[in-house]
Amino acid sequence: MPHNAIGGIFYAIGPTILVGLLFWFAMRAIFRADKTERTVYSEIEAEERAKAEAEEAAGRSGGF
């Protein structure tokens, strides 16, 4: 236990700051993962749409 005022202040506020930082890092990781997942999903969806449109165009032109 600290014996001076400054040490007592850091001793009292330290755990709150530490928990706040841990929460911030966790939320930041969650939001970044969500953003990355949405980006990848959009890319896959665009590729699938392009495939479907190409197949539809081939079917219309009598490609088989």
Cβ(33)–Cβ(25) below 8 Å? no
User: How confident is the model over 4-47, as pLDDT tens digits?
Assistant: 999 999 999 999 999 999 999 999 999 999 999 999 999 999 99
DSSP 8-state code for residue 62: T
- How many of the other CB atoms lie within 10 Å of CB of 6? 8
For residue 55, pLDDT beyond 70: yes
Give this prediction's pTM.
0.64
Q: Return d(Cα 51, Cα 56) in angstroms, integer.
A: 9
Would you list the DSSP string of 19-41? Answer: HHHHHHHHHHHHHHHHHHHHHHH
- How many of the other CB atoms lie within 10 Å of CB of 59? 10
Map out the domains of the chain as residue ranges: 22-64
Which pLDDT score, from 0 to 100, does residue 61 have? 75
